Amino acid sequence: MLFATTAMAARIERAECSLVREAAQAVARARPEANVMITAVAGGVATYAGESSPLNKVVGLGLDGPIDEAELEAVERLYANRRCPVQIELCSLAKPSVGTMLSGRGYQLMGFENVLGCALGNEHNIADPVISDITIEVVTENDFDLWMDTVVTGFASPDLDGAPSHESFPREVLEQVMSDMARAAGFVRYLARRNGAPAGGGSMRIADGVLQLCGAATLPNHRRRGVQAALLAHRLVDAARLGCDLAVVTTQPGSTSQRNMQRNGFDLLYTRAILVRNGSRVESV
């Protein structure tokens, strides 16, 4: 069983910070009108990438020591200037004083997400299984639109159990942010075909030897046919060959996705609390 030490959690959160930062940078390049914000705060990063974007959040706080409230207040003002609530994703291994401080500043608990991990290089996850009717291919620019439609359609028809997400996004917002993120540095996109027809897709990103499994979804009429298992195995194999020693994924607690990942050898490492403060509580400048 993989066990999350504070050092491992800090490594994963650094990878998450770089993922969010690079995705926001991709938005800034593609859409200057989005008024993108990227700023360091207390060992983490705060980003804004346009109205209703999933990238409007603060990640990576509280693992490198105490938080300077004046620094946090400055970030809160940046969000207030954009009329955007402040959303902090707080690792459960962060300093306990961080949660106390955030509660005192008016942050409210809105939900949770789980971070699961798997050590790469073990015999059970370096063999790429053969599923006769499923093929996996790396997506080129020629098939980018097909990949995008497949993944977004899969996300738009969630197959969830357990706790629902605290947020949802219109299809056009998902298309925009996934298009921006998929073109950020380091992303590799995969399309799964079942009997030749597009069935699902996913992506991965590597940072500091950490494989981040991103954006996987299956079309409703192809579910429970091994599509996600094939996409997962293929990405694990590719990442192991590239020298990664740790794979991580984020899921909703108690979801079908979490169950499937645990069935495939992933262990629950830690939880992130989703804390939100309404931007109206901080006067804009």
Q: Which of 89, 96, 32, 27 is nearest to 67 (CA)?
A: 96
3-state secondary structure of 121: coil
**pLDDT number for residue 284:** 38
Please give the Cα distance from 103 to 107 (Å, whole number).
5
Closest CA to 57 of 65, 49, 66: 49
* Segments making up each domain of the chain, as ranges: 6-116+272-281, 119-270
Express each pLDDT in 161-212 by its tens digit: 555 555 566 777 777 777 777 767 788 999 999 999 999 999 999 999 999 9
Instruction: Tell me if 6-116+272-281 shares its fold with 119-270.
Output: yes
> Could you state, in chain order, the average pLDDT of each consecutive group of 10 residues for the chain (285 residues)?
95 95 90 94 94 93 86 96 97 93 96 97 54 88 92 78 60 76 81 95 94 91 90 93 95 91 95 87 42
Predicted pLDDT of residue 204 = 94
Q: What is the pLDDT of residue 181?
A: 73
The pLDDT, as a whole number, for residue 164 is 59
Neighbouring residues of 160: CB distance < 8 A, sequence distance ≥ 6: 252, 255, 256, 257
pLDDT on residue 174 = 74
CATH 3.40.50 is the classification of domain 6-116+272-281: no
Quote the pLDDT of residue 64. 80
Q: Which of 124, 136, 117, 121 is nearest to 228 (CA)?
A: 136
CATH code of the domain occupying 119-270: 3.40.630.30
pLDDT digits (tens, 9 = 90+) for 66-75: 789 999 999 9
State residue 281's pLDDT score.
45
